[in-house]
Amino acid sequence: MPGAIVESSRWELYRLLGEPRRLRLLGLTSEDELSIGELAELTGEAQPNVSKHLKLLREAGLVAVRRQGTRALARLTPDLNGDPVLADAVRSGRELCARDGSLARVSEVIQARDAESRAFFERPDAGAPGSSGEWSAYLTALRALLPNRTLAVDVGTGDGALVELLAPLFDKVLAVDRSEEQLRAAAERLASRRYENVELVRAEYDHPSLAERVTSLGGADAVFAVRLLHHAPQPQRAVSQLASLARPGGRVVIIDYCAHEDEQMREQRADLWLGFERSELFGFAKSAGLIQPEVFVIPAARYGPGPDAHLQWQVFAARREDEEIRES
């Protein structure tokens, strides 16, 4: 039994429960958590009177009241320790409310809470998009879907577009690029986001210093490389280098072009390779010791308006074998 009741004389409890209005409040708050305004509507009492009676019930430990902004919401204290007098009081209060119809109206009062919200979303401008940064909040919610999210490495980060997506998902992100100019652009892009978990690293993807930094952090849960492979002098070796950055069980995710014949990409974009066949990517995975490889095409509507939008993009993903599985 709540302490306030224990300390009171029994006759004081009987006196408290001898008021039908207070019994009705017990009955209504046993049905659901209700605001003072809602209780006033259900009981037909003025809000000051409801507040006065709720205060007495709260001080006795029978009703819990919490504030949410300017509103006060009341509910029956969940644990009354099976006191028969209190149980009978709640039952009597519910009977009174059932008789006057207020108990049945509780569900209507609760449904009416979103009347203003419904009206708002019926307005023509209600569907207007929010701030451009909302997606960051949505991505943060998706963290729960990742089994491991300690470290991600974005190799060839460019202006940091992918890092914007990774930062809300992982505890730490290394954004790696060999170009100081690209890293400066990434820093400018990320500055407004205030991502304190992003570290910009100037290095070649195969330089020992990068491997040492990733190893010091325990290895990457995920290694990403977007449109890097077609610039790599030795694509197969590049995949092996990316795989070495992943911890056992970690993932390697590469976005690059499907095989194509647009020679202008060599001349205009300095591409070394005109995309890759699925069979090539599966061969790279096997050579790098990666398991469970998969390759799938990205729908063209998601490419954006860039100079390579006419090409077909694909995702190559695979997992570094877990050492425990290998040993078994």
Class of domain 3-121: mainly alpha
Do the strands 290-297 and 313-320 form a parallel or antiparallel pair, or are they unpaired?
antiparallel
- Does 8 score more than 70 pLDDT? no
By three-state DSSP, how is residue 249 classified? strand
Task: Specify whether the CB–CB gap between 287 and 236 falls below 8 A.
Answer: yes
Task: Specify whether the CB–CB gap between 87 and 27 falls below 8 A.
Answer: no
By three-state DSSP, how is residue 195 classified? coil
Identify any residues that bridge with 154 across adjacent strands, giving them in sequence order: 175, 224
Pick the CATH number of 134-327 from 3.40.640.10, 3.40.50.150, 1.10.10.1150, 3.30.390.10: 3.40.50.150
Q: Could you please report the per-residue DSSP string of 95-145?
A: HHHHHHTTTTTHHHHHHGGGHHHHHHHTSTTTT----TTHHHHHHHHHGGG
From residue 295, alpha-carbon distances to 75, 152, 232 in Å are 55, 20, 19
Confidence band, pLDDT 50/70/90 cuts, at residue 133 = low
Share of the chain above pLDDT 90, in %: 76
- Tell me the backbone φ, ψ of residue 132, rounded to 5 degrees: -65, -15
Mean pLDDT score of the chain, rounded to an integer? 91
Tokens representing 170 are: 């992982």
User: What span, in angstroms and rounded, lies between the C-alpha atoms of 210 and 199?
Assistant: 12
Identify any residues that bridge with 271 across adjacent strands, giving them in sequence order: none
- Does 328 score more than 70 pLDDT? no
pLDDT value at position 1?
43
- Tell me the backbone φ, ψ of residue 148, rounded to 5 degrees: -135, 125
> What residues does each domain of the chain span?
3-121, 134-327
80-125 per-position pLDDT tens digit: 667 888 999 999 999 999 999 999 999 999 989 888 778 877 877 6
Lowest mean pLDDT among 192-196, 200-204, 219-223: 192-196
DSSP state letter for 304: -
User: What span, in angstroms and rounded, lies between the C-alpha atoms of 28 and 22?
Assistant: 10
Share of the chain above pLDDT 70, in %: 92
Are both 3-121 and 134-327 of the same fold?
A: no
Mean pLDDT of 298-306: 91
Identify any residues that bridge with 256 across adjacent strands, giving them in sequence order: 314
pLDDT value at position 3?
46
Task: Specify whether the CB–CB gap between 229 and 295 falls below 8 A.
Answer: no
Residue 197 CB partners (closer than 8 Å, separation 6+)? 167, 170, 171, 172, 173
- Does 128 score more than 70 pLDDT? no
- Residue with the bigger pLDDT between 130 and 304: it is 304
208-232 per-position pLDDT tens digit: 999 999 999 999 999 999 999 999 9
* 328: number of Cβ within 10 Å: 6
146-190 per-position pLDDT tens digit: 999 999 999 999 999 999 999 999 999 999 999 999 999 999 999
